[in-house]
Amino acid sequence: MLEMKNVTSIYEDGTVALKDISIDLSKSKSIGIIGSNGAGKSTLFLNFTGVLKPKSGQILFRGKPLSYSKPSLREFRKEVGIVFQDPERQIFFSNVYDDIAFGLRNLGVSEDEIKIRVEDALKRVEAAEFSNKPVHFLSHGQKKRVAIAGVISMDNKVLFFDEPTAGLDPLVTKSVEDILLSLSNKQEKTVVVSSHDMDLIYNVCEYVYVLNQGQIIGEGKVEDIFLKNDLLKSSGLNEPWLVKIHKNLGYPLFKNESELYEYHNRMKNEQKK
């Protein structure tokens, strides 16, 4: 549905930010973009959402090159949303409800419909209990969830998440993980996540692109990518711990920890017999 073909992006000062990048988001419903600080992940997202126009190459949306005229960008963005890292830069209203409703009101959706969708979004990010507090009383994790709700209320087809768990505690991180999983599995959205948290990427994504100094230096299923030692090393990344114990302790590769524990218990029981 959304694809990037041979995109090169250049900063105003002439530095090459992205070099000849091709990414096809139809490869999976949950895609991870990993790379070190400054590898170009944010610039990539800005190109994908039509905020920046590539120097060369194309963004293809439903097979057609993206047009950068205002009306077509507007249509495009009804389908594509992004949650940025810092919630303080995406919340414009002191009132949680008004903020989540903002995008819908811009589209002229009726207030009745808005009410349903805002309340649904609040429920999905588990924000209902603090939704009538003013935003400046909320904690960082709560603001983050409001920002996410503001985007998922739009019911876009493709959702980008830039560092969705940075600065969040383990509990809130887990709840964000759950939101991402349910968006891609149950809601049929395409979810694209960039993160430094390899465990998050491993838990949430199926397909991964590795970005290094503005170039894609590897792509593949998440289980395959994290087995490539050289690739990870040269891009300054590390392995999720489930991969570590696979590589170093000889366990099969599991997608989540409960599978691992089940396997372990099964093996133990078998040995007993």
Partner 1 sequence: MKKIKKIIFVLLYLVLLTPLYSNGMHIMEGFLDPFWAGLWSVVSLPFIVIGFSRIKKITDENPNKKLLLGLVGAFVFILSALKLPSVTGSTSHPTGIGLGAMVFGPMPMAVIGFIVLIFQALLLTHGGITTLGANVFSMGIVGPFIAYGIYIVLKDKNRSLAVFLGAALANLGTYIITSAQLALAHPDSVNGVLGSFVKFVGIFAFTQIPLAIGEGILTVIIFNMLLEY
Partner 2 sequence: MLIIDKFAYTNKLKSINPRLKIGLSLTFIALALINKNMYFFIGIICGGFYATVFLAGIPLKNYMKMILIPFAFLLTSMIAILVSFSSDSDVFLYSIDLKFFYGGVTLIGLKNALLLFLRSMSSLVSLYFLTLTTPMDQQIYTMQKLRIPSLFLEIYSLIYRFIFILLEESLEIYRAQELRFGYINMKNSYLSLSILIKTLFVRVMRRYKDMQIVLDMKLFDGEFHIGKGAGGQENA
Please report, as ranges, the residues that interact with partner 2 according to CB under 8 A: 12-14, 46, 49, 51, 70, 73-74, 77-78, 81-82, 84, 86, 88-98, 101-103, 105-108, 111, 114-115, 118, 131-137, 150-151, 154
3-state secondary structure the chain: CEEEEEEEEECCCCCEEEEEEEEEHHHCCEEEEECCCCCCHHHHHHHHCCCCCCCEEEEEECCEECCCCHHHHHHHHCCEEEECCCHHHCCCCCEHHHHHHHHHHHCCCCHHHHHHHHHHHHHHCCCHHHCCCEHHHCCHHHHHHHHHHHHHCCCCCEEEEECCCCCCCHHHHHHHHHHHHHHHHCCCCEEEEECCCHHHHHHHCCEEEEEECCEEEEEEEHHHHCCCHHHHHHCCCCCCHHHHHHHHHCCCCCCCHHHHHHHHHHHHHHHHC
Q: How far is the CB of 259 from partner 1 (least distance, A)?
A: 47
With binding defined as CB under 8 A, does residue 146 bind a second copy?
no
Number of residues that bind a second copy (CB under 8 A): 33
Q: Which does 171 bind (CB under 5 to 8 A by kind): a second copy, partner 2, partner 1, none?
A: a second copy
Interface with a second copy by CB under 8 A: which range of 4-12, 103-111, 122-130, 239-247? 239-247
With binding defined as CB under 8 A, does residue 172 bind a second copy?
yes
With binding defined as CB under 8 A, does residue 229 bind a second copy?
no
With binding defined as CB under 8 A, does residue 220 bind a second copy?
no
Site for a second copy in 43-82 (CB under 8 A): none
Binding positions for partner 1, rule: CB under 8 A: 12, 92, 94
With binding defined as CB under 8 A, does residue 245 bind a second copy?
yes
With binding defined as CB under 8 A, does residue 173 bind a second copy?
yes
Residues in contact with a second copy by CB under 8 A are: 35-38, 85, 139-141, 163, 166-174, 196, 198, 236-238, 241, 244-245, 248-250, 257, 260-261, 264
